[in-house]
Amino acid sequence: MHTNLKKHAKKAGQPPGTVIYTGQKRQDDCDITIIDYNQDECTVYEHQKDKACLPFLKSTTNTWININGIHDVELIKFFGEHLQIHPLTLEDIANTTQRPKIEEYPEYLFIVLKMISYNEKTRELDTEQISLIVTTNTVISFQERAGDIFDPLRRRLQNAGSHLRKAAADHLAYAIIDTTIDHYFSVLESISNEIEEVETKLLNDPDNTILHRIHKLKNQMIGLRKTVWPMRELINDFIRSESAFIQKSTHIYLRDAYDHTIQVIDTVETFRDLIAGMLDIYLSNLSNRMNSIMKVLTIIATIFIPLTFITGLYGMNFEHMPELTYPWAYPAVLGFMLLVAGGMLAYFKRRRWL
């Protein structure tokens, strides 16, 4: 987040529409994949150059152009020129600090998505921005990094009978959104595992790392919320949009995707509540442990302090202490001490401290 703010801050005063890449520095080339399909055929062209895309932009078949890597600003500008894309859109594609949103332009629909992945080892969330340009029969998708979550989509495109093959480009856009949202569930599953693990540890064997794990989960929920709520808005705007690029038949599918985001939001909110509850338990445990520490101290101290006083009493060096000379005095004092200790123990028992 810090890096993004810095980049954003540096843009202050620059004209809107300035295309600046705001993600992490990268050296590798951007990779273009073209999938051209209609009801009858589907061809995949991998590792293409930018100019190879031009014929597909004008063809009557449906085309999905996927670009992995958005650090090549010239590439973004290339598509901007050939598709008459508004400079503000190009700026948003390169700037990875966008919120998920949908924007309607007369020439295209512009959609920004956030894909989330969870690193099981470091227990860190990672966010990646995916931008879509949708026209009647073309979808251009920009991803920050190469990833494999869209592989099942490609396989469905290659399956001649699939609904995806028959439908227009807006259905492909929907499918990309839907796949992204479905991916949230696997992230939530990983987090759910972590929550269960932390909860088990919390109840059985709490230590100092627990607080930091709870704290991290809490911050991750803050981050997830910030991402998921706009996804819901985005799909809602998608449904209510009257853009010519959206077929009526897609509405029912969008409603389904909307239901899924609501489920994601519900789960995130539930996790928040669960995590808040875990923090409460952690703090109660701290208090409980303090109580039990104090109990031990108090029991030991209240038993032995009076006894030590008695031994001190008969350790005094007064010349005239008649008790000291009686032969039965020592055993009597020992007995009295036992009595005192027993009384104390009985008192603690009654107070349920033992």
Each residue 172-201 as x (binds a copy of itself by CB under 8 A) or -, in order, gives ------xx--xx-xx-xx--xx--x-----
- Strand ranges (DSSP E) for the chain? 31-37, 42-48, 62-68, 101-104, 109-119, 124-134, 138-143
Q: Which stretch binds a copy of itself (CB under 8 A): 77-85, 126-134, 138-146, 205-213?
A: 205-213
Residue 233 burial class via C-beta count within 10 angstroms: exposed 0-12, middle 13-18, buried 19 and up: middle
Among 29, 46, 160, 255, binds a copy of itself (CB under 8 A): 255
Which H or E run contains 104?
A: strand 101-104
Write out the binding residues for a copy of itself, residues 21-60 only, by CB under 8 A: none
| CB 57 to a copy of itself: min, Å | 23
Residue 97 contacts a copy of itself per CB under 8 A: yes
Which of 70, 303 has the CB closer to a copy of itself?
303
Write out the binding residues for a copy of itself, residues 98-117 only, by CB under 8 A: 98-99, 101, 103
Which of 81, 319 has the CB closer to a copy of itself?
319
Using alpha carbons, select from 131, 138, 142, 132 the residue that is nearest to residue 38. 138
Question: In angstroms, rounded to a whole number, what is the distance separating the alpha carbons of residues 104 and 164?
Answer: 23
Residue 19 and residue 78 in contact, taking contact as beta carbons nearer than 8 Å? no
What residue type is 55 in one-letter code? P
Write out the binding residues for a copy of itself, residues 140-159 only, by CB under 8 A: 149-153, 156
Residue 77 contacts a copy of itself per CB under 8 A: no
Write out the binding residues for a copy of itself, residues 272-301 only, by CB under 8 A: 273-274, 277, 279-284, 286-291, 293-298, 300-301
Among 124, 266, 338, 346, binds a copy of itself (CB under 8 A): 266
Q: Does residue 117 come out as left (phi exceeding 0), alpha (psi in the -120 to 50 range) or beta?
A: beta
Question: Taking the CA of residue 341 as centre, how many other CA atoms within 13 Å lie in the half-sphere pointing to its CB?
Answer: 14
Write out the binding residues for a copy of itself, residues 318-337 only, by CB under 8 A: 318-321, 323-327, 329-330, 333
What residue type is 354 in one-letter code? L
Residue 143 and residue 171 in contact, taking contact as beta carbons nearer than 8 Å? no
| CB 305 to a copy of itself: min, Å | 5
Using alpha carbons, select from 139, 29, 14 the residue that is nearest to residue 74. 29
Residue 251 contacts a copy of itself per CB under 8 A: no
Write phi, then psi, for 116 (nearest 5 degrees): -120, 135
How many amino acids of this chain bind a copy of itself (CB under 8 A)? Answer: 112
Residue 126 contacts a copy of itself per CB under 8 A: no
